[in-house]
Every structure is written in C-alpha cells, then in structure tokens.
Amino acid sequence: MSKKDIKKVWIDTDPTFGDPNGDCDDGYCIIALEHARNIEIIGASPVFGNTTTANAYAKLRDLKDMFYPDLSIAIGAEDMLALNNHKKEASFIATETSPAVEAMAAALGELKKGRKLTIAAIGSLVNVATLLIMYPELTDKIESVVVVAGRYDHTQQFKFGTNPGGIFRDLNFDVDPAAFYVLLNAPVKTVLAGVEVAQTMWLYASDLALFKKKGTPDIKYMSEQSADWLALWESFGNEIDHPEVPIHGFHPFDLFAGGFIIDPDWFKGEYRIASTPVFPDDTLPDEKNVFKPYLVASPGTCIKTPRSRKKEEELAKTPGVVYYLKTVTDDYKKDMIKLLLKPQK
C-alpha cells in the first residue's frame, strides 16, 4: 500500500465506555480506525455530548495509556457553539477556540499538497464548527466530515425495542443544532451516518464474547467495558420488527462512521438535501408545546451522483447537500468483526 492510499483521519469524540449505562460505540469506532491498515490517525479530541469534555478526555487518555501511546489528544470545547445573539443585555458573545480546534487547524495546515484530512465527528459538532468558522481558508483540505446523526423523516424515531426507555435523541445533533447549521452551510462534504444505517447491524453478547476470547487487548478491554451498555439495551424489550425476539445486543452507531471512512464500498448511499424542520419533541411525547429541530435528509430530495469526479466533488461541497448512508453490504458485519478482532497487516 502506497502512502497515497493512507487516509489521514482526525477523531472528534465523546466516549463514555465503562461508565454506568455508558455508550461504548465511540470505543469500537476508534479501535476499527486503529486496526485499519489504510488509516493514519493524526489526532483525537474529546468533546461534550454523551458526557462532559473532561470525562471524554479521561477515556481517551485511558486508551492512549493502555494501547495507543502515539495517539495525540487535544482537548475540545466544553459547551455548545457560542454565536452572538445580540441580546440587549449583552453586546456580544464570543466564539472561543480550543486546543482541539488549533490542533486540527495545524494538522490541516501541515498537509502536503494534494493530501486531505477526514474528520470522524462522532460527538457534538462544536469543535468542527468552530474550526470551520475560524479557519475557512482550510476547508479545501478537508476530505469530508463524517457525522453520526440524521434521519430520512422527522417521524422516524431513534427507537429501539418496545419499552418507552428505548427512544433516544438524535444526540449529536440535538445537543448543538447551531454547530450543524455551520457545517451544512460550509463548502465541505458532509456524510450522515444516521439511525437508518445504524439499524442494519447489531453487536450481540456472542460478539462481545468472541472479542474477549480471540481479540487483541484493546477489543478485549472494550468488550468488557460494554457490559452495562448491553444490559441497558436488553431492558428495552424486543428487537425492531421482531417482537418475539428479545434484544441481546446493541447498534454500534459510531462504528458506522469509522466503517465508512475505512471503506466507503461497504455502504450504499446517495446525495440528498438536508433540512432542519421543527416539530414536537418525539422523546417527550407526553409534554405539550415542547418542540425541537430535526436533522432530515428526505429520499425525495435525492440528487443523482454526477459521472464526473470533479462534478461530484462540486456537488458534495454544495451547502445543504449531504451524502446520506442508507444501508451496508451483506459482508459488512463479517468484515468489521474481523477488523475489530485484530489489526490488519
């Protein structure tokens, strides 16, 4: 494999693996990217979302100290994107940079001619949005921003199982919609790995047992840290569309972002136009007059992929256009399990 075939990747993440009910999919995404022979991780940045930035930083430090000593970590923002709202009681609200933003900017600036950086944005989007605002001259050096968010219609719920506790927020979007507004209006290719594609794969208790029995130390560790997360999902009731089958696994959301970066051919997707309509909050069905925006990429807005590579690149960078992931190939899970078990040579 030549150097030109190696993809340079930055991971912006909010891991909580090992915490009570802690989401572990960030960890699986990081391991897959670390194991892939065509990926070079330039750096990683903790960000708020599933947890605080400080806790996310501690999780990344754990991975660095135990398995990935060369992993470069730069701490990110602790709160939502700050945009001046011109309230009378405040003359301005400053948008602040962070070590993560400066490190990403430095990494982009150091790229050799013709090389680009892919950003796996698997937490809230404040770090990426701040980078785009403060360093617009660097957008041409971004290959794509792959985010875990979005749905094909506002009525499509992030619902898993039959119990009410199985309705999730589109968390990465919901915790900072303004940051997504910045991304959707930037001349950067945006890839949405949302709930539709996430529902195509389960990690079951049997998969975790396989990781623990035959995997390298990093995936063994992550499988052990997944116990509470698996137990939470098992409490949701039954699997989607199979009411007679209890849940014995979970959808590894963030792993799909890593998978797409490693090999886009594992996925089937299309260009669509994204919108952010406002409707009642589907996670609070019993509350009246509680509304929220939704990140939607409807199939009715599909745009045919141009045959010309140059034309496709122009389309991908058009504000409001996203590349929406719909499903995976039949071999995706088999190939991903193999990758997670041990690094490629």
Closest CA to 121 of 151, 150, 148, 141: 148
pLDDT tens digits along 146-190: 999 999 999 998 888 877 777 889 999 999 999 999 999 999 999
What pLDDT, on a 0 to 100 scale, did the predictor assign at position 236? 87
CB atoms within 10 A of CB 97: 16
Contacts of 258 (CB under 8 A, 6+ apart): 28, 29, 30, 32, 33, 120, 122
pLDDT at 241 over 70: no
Q: Tell me the two tokens of residue 144.
A: 């794509």
The arithmetic mean of pLDDT across residues 105-116, rounded, is 96
For the domain spanning 3-341, the CATH number is 3.90.245.10
* 257-264: average pLDDT: 98
User: Between helices 177-184 and 126-134, what is the axis angle to 10°?
Assistant: 40
Pairing of strands 267-275, 321-328: antiparallel
Helix%, strand%, coil% for the chain, nearest 5 = 40, 20, 40
Q: Residue 47: its pLDDT value, please?
A: 97
Calculate the average pLDDT of the chain: 94
Task: Give the 3-state secondary structure of residue 47.
Answer: coil
> Which residues have CB under 8 Å from 318's CB, separation 6+?
187
- Give mean pLDDT, residues 283-295: 93
Question: What's the mean pLDDT in 108-131?
Answer: 97
161, 101, 109: which is closest to 137 by C-alpha?
109
The Cα–Cα gap between 37 and 11 comes to 16
DSSP assigned state of 296? E
Q: In whole angstroms, what is the distance from residue 129 CA to residue 199 CA?
A: 27
- Mean per-residue pLDDT, 234-252: 81
| pLDDT in the model for residue 93 | 77
Which pLDDT belongs to residue 136? 98
Q: In this predicted model, what pLDDT tens digit does every residue of 205-222 receive, in sequence order? A: 999 999 999 999 999 999
**How many CA atoms within 13 Å lie on the side-chain side of 224?**
9
Name the nearest CA neighbour of 100 among 125, 76, 131: 76
Number of C-beta neighbours around residue 107 at 10 A:
19
Residue 88, pLDDT score: 67
Q: What average pLDDT does the segment 293-322 reach?
A: 97
Q: Which two tokens stand for residue 102?
A: 């400066």
Whole-prediction pTM: 0.96
Q: What is the distance in angstroms between the CA of the first residue and the CA of the last residue of the chain?
A: 11
